[in-house]
Amino acid sequence: MKKLVLISLCAMLCVVFCACKGEESSSTESTTAQVTTAAATQPTTKNQTETAAATTADSNSSYASAKEAAVADAKKFLEKANYSYQGLYNDLVYMGYADEDAKYGADNCGADWSEQAVKRAKALAANGITNYDNLVEKLESEGFTGEQAAVGAQAAAQSQESGQNDDVIAAAKRYVDTGNYTYTSLIDKLQQDGFSTGDAKYAANNCGADWNGMAANEAKKLIDGGVTTKEEIVDQLIFKGYTYQQAVHGAEANGL
């Protein structure tokens, strides 16, 4: 009888031992699976670095590097305005370029900074800043060096004093050769280009423009557009800025 009870206890212990072993195995497998899953979803340090680099780079850029893109943008800026080196660098940084890329763009855009200072000074003079010292101060505040500012201010001052400038006359001739301008509209156009009021007026007076001929050309356009009476032609030409005599000539030159 005692032997039978002993056998039964041994059997029960075996069952309990096997059950515990199975739970431990299941727990180990579960833990291993969790670790494996976590490892699969966690990026490596290398992947993190590459992702950050890819985010920084402009995926839509057609340039091989940020430096090349900075040079291209620098040239675009210079087509629209006159910059100092520092001013151009600042705008490139503002656009998001790194310090070294912005410097590379400003260094390699091909700008002549003294020439930029001269053009900027003339534009400032056209807008009323004509005093030499004031021009120098303004140019330096925009990032031009003292030497560049002096060159620009001197050129603008000389242009104001003489009222004669080969560049502005050449520009005026180009305009009247390719379009119909009035005396006043030509002056306005030259001032928009940065020339002083004195230079623009001098050029309008000395560029050899045929105001009567341009009035006649403008009158023909009006006629082709449906305007048929002399009075209307004259009125519209005067409205565009031609003098009364020029407007009458324009209408009569077209048989009205």
Neighbours of 8 (CB within 10 A): 10
Note whether 124 and 135 are within 8 A (CB): yes
For 92-221, list the strands marked E by DSSP.
Answer: none
| Predicted local confidence at residue 61, as pLDDT | 57
Q: Domain limits of the chain? A: 65-107, 163-209, 211-252
Per-residue exposure over 195-229, b if at least 16 CB sit within 10 Å of its own CB, e if not: bbbbbbbbbbeebebebbebbbebbeebbeeebee
Question: What percent of the chain has a predicted confidence (pLDDT) above 90?
Answer: 34
Our measurement of the distance from residue 227's CA atom to the centroid of its chain's CA atoms, rounded to an integer in Å, reads 42
pLDDT confidence of 37, banded at 50, 70, 90?
A: very low
Residue 105 has pLDDT above 80, yes or no: yes
Contacts of 108 by beta carbon, 8 Å cutoff, 6+ apart: 67, 71, 74
Distance of CA 127 to the CA centre of its chain: 22
Pair of tokens at residue 211? 């105001």
pLDDT for residue 21 is more than 60: no
The pLDDT value recorded for residue 196 is 77
Q: What is the pLDDT of residues 110-134, one digit of tens each?
A: 999 999 999 999 888 877 787 888 8
CB neighbours of residue 145 within 10 Å: 16
Name the percent of the chain lying above pLDDT 70: 73
Q: pLDDT tens, 40-66?
A: 334 433 343 333 333 334 434 588 999
Q: Identify the H or E element spanning 173.
A: helix 166-178
In this structure, of 97-101, 157-161, 176-180, 197-201, the range with the lowest mean pLDDT score is 157-161
Residue 162's pLDDT band (boundaries 50, 70, 90)?
A: low
**What is residue 15's predicted lDDT score, i.e. its pLDDT?**
47
C-alpha span between 39 and 46 (Å, rounded): 14
pTM: 0.44
Best-predicted range by mean pLDDT among 92-106, 150-164, 218-232?
Answer: 92-106
